[in-house]
Structure formats: C-alpha cells, structure tokens
Structure 1
Amino acid sequence: MTVARISMAEFNSEESANIFEERYQKVAPPALPEANSLTMIRTGPTSVMSVALYPDLETANNTLEARKDMLEEFLHTVKDLWHMEGAVSLHHVNS
C-alpha cells in the first residue's frame, strides 16, 4: 500500500524559505531515493509543503533519519515544522 508523508514548514522569513526551497530541490532526491515521488509546493511567501510517496509504511519509516539529517541545517530558520502520514487512496497522473 502506497504511503504519503506530508510535511509542512513555516519559516522565519521569505529568504529562509527561498534558501530551503532551492536546497531541497537538490538534496531531497538523493537523500530519499526510496521515495516513488517527491513534490514540493510553495504555499506562501514563508511556507512550503512537501509530499513524498513511498511504496509502504516500512519504507517511509526507514527514511525518517535521512529526513531528519536533511532538515537539520534549517531548524534554526523554522517557526513550525510538522508531518503526517497516510495511505494513498488515489494517485492519478495524466499522461
């Protein structure tokens, strides 16, 4: 069963969000190779949401340490950071 991890981050400034967004695009794919897909959405000037899809919960859980390491350098610029997980009931992609 495919599992999604949705993460939300609110940064202290737009500049911090910009730096994170640029860095995440480079660092996330090699840091989370187990993910079937990675999507980042800029939800506001100082906020981002990311959605990572994994083949199953075990795989998703096995990436938590890599996720923590990847986010470590940004913790001082974050006002709020949280994530949740759930089973994916629809993943439609137009071809």
Structure 2
Amino acid sequence: MEAKFARVNMIDFLSEEALAEVQNRYVNIREKTYPGLEFTVWVRTGPQSMMTLSIYESEEALLATTENHQELIASTAEFVKDIFFYEGGVSGLASTLVTDGFVTFDNAK
C-alpha cells in the first residue's frame, strides 16, 4: 500500500445550526473540491464542535487540495468560532468500514 497523508481539522462552531449548515455544504462539494480524498470522518466532540479526519491517496493529493480547503474555510467563516488543522503522513491504518459516498450519523440518541 502506498503511503497515505491526512488532514485533521479541529472546528468550534458558533451554534449547532452552524455546524449542521457547514456539514451540509461539505456534503455537496466534497467530491469536486477534494480530489484524491479517500476517507473522511467527522467526530462530534461537543454540541458545537467537530474534529474531522481526511485521508488522501498521496502527499501530492493532499497538497493539491490545500487552496480549496482554505477557500472552504473562508466561505464558512460566518459559522465558525475557531478552526485549525494539522497535516501529515499516516503511520498506521486499519478499517472494516466501507461506505458509498459521505455518510452522516445521528449521534443525538
């Protein structure tokens, strides 16, 4: 398996509604905006906060999306209190989870 590269975002939103709005926008632009993206998971860390993990097929694919990622951040600034992200090589990966496209989960239960 070729080396994979990842981007981890830590996001605090202004409200739960703001979080939902940004997630809905992401679903609609993911394929076009993030070519080379193989895996995405959003972890709700609080009512208004999210950690996202995106894994790319290569370092080149990750770097090719950096400008698009910064544009997405700028376009959602009205919904976000704070955001920062890290990028780096994936040192280990295992998954039995397979999805068709971006799947969201309702963890409010």
Please give the alpha-carbon distance, in whole angstroms, between the structure 1 residues aligned to 2:91 and 2:11.
24
| Percent of residue pairs identical | 28
Task: Give the AA of the match of 1:36.
Answer: E
Calculate the TM-score normalised by the size of structure 2. 0.77
In structure 2, C-alpha distance between the alignment counterparts of 1:4 and 1:32, rounded to whole Å:
12
Name structure 1 gaps, 5 residues minimum: none
Does the 8 Å CA contact 1:29/1:38 hold for their aligned counterparts?
no
What is the match of residue 57 of structure 1? 59
Q: TM-score, normalised by structure 1?
A: 0.86
Aligned length: 95
Higher relative contact order (CA 8 A, sep 6+): 1
Unmatched 5+ stretches in structure 2:
98-109
Q: How does 1:1-95 map to 2 (within 5 A)?
A: 1-94=3-96
Structure 2 contact 35–65 (Cα < 8 Å) conserved: no
Letter in 1 for 2:91: S
Q: Which runs of 4+ in 1 moved over 4 A?
A: none
